[in-house]
Structure 1
Amino acid sequence: MKQALWKMFVNWEEELDQNEWYFSDCYEELTRNLSSSDAFEAIPDIIFVLLAVKDTYLVSETLDFLDTVYNIANTTEIHPLLREEWRNINQHIHRLGDD
């Protein structure tokens, strides 16, 4: 999942100029056959990418994707890594100046 997200972010601005649904289409492709357990297991990869991206737009898109994957996971359980990294995620968002 991590590699797929990074690949999706390459030339994202050009892709978005050509297709306003670029991210939505990519997310759909990434999650099409994802079971709830696979979705839950993918959460750490998404968190890793979230903490590594430096563009506020990509942070927002990654957060949206994390929400999508959580919906597919269909659980109220907070992933242990999300609980562990919550403060770092908030600090990362704050550093980039995004609400």
Structure 2
Amino acid sequence: MHKSIADILENWIEKINQDEFYIANSFDVIINAKNSSEAFEFIPYMIEAILLSEDDFITSQLIFYMNCLYGKANTTELHPSFISKRQELENHISNMSGNNSVREYNEFKRDLRLY
């Protein structure tokens, strides 16, 4: 997992208890620092983090910020990493306990016109 994502997720419950916007602010810093091509190239790291996540809330947040990376990249072109991992991602998300990540993934698919 990319160090910047791992750093955000380390002790996230404690950090979110101190600042309810911790996750949003942390990912905003990462995304805002990237130009469009850097945002596109960061997508595989988000995919990896999603696949490693076992928490429905965190998974939903990672999907949301992956969608933000696509927005920053200003493209609906599917990243080759997403294409190769799509089935694995969908299986992982469907096996989460909770529906936050499923709902967020459906929004992601809608935004990328994957229906």
TM-score range, shorter chain: over 0.9
CA deviation vs aligned residue, 1:42-68 (integer Å, no higher than 9, x gap): 111111111111111110111011011
Moved over 2 A (4+): none
Work out the CA distance in 2 between the residues paired with 1:69 and 1:17. Answer: 26
Secondary structure of residue in 1 paired with 2:3:
helix
Q: How does 1:1-99 map to 2 (within 5 A)?
A: 2-97=2-97, 98=99, 99=102
AA paired with 1:3? K
Q: Over aligned residues, Cα RMSD in angstroms? A: 1.3
Equivalenced residues, count:
99
State the TM-score, normalizing by the size of structure 1. 0.93
Amino acid at match of 2:71: N
The residue type equivalent to 1:5 in the other structure is I
Q: Which sections of structure 2, spanning at least 5 residues, go unmatched? A: 103-115
Counterpart CA distance in 2 for 1:76 and 1:53 is 25
Q: CA deviation at 1:32?
A: 2.1
Measure how far apart 1:41 and its partner are. Answer: 0.6
In structure 1, runs of 5+ residues without a counterpart are: none
SS in 1 for 2:95: helix
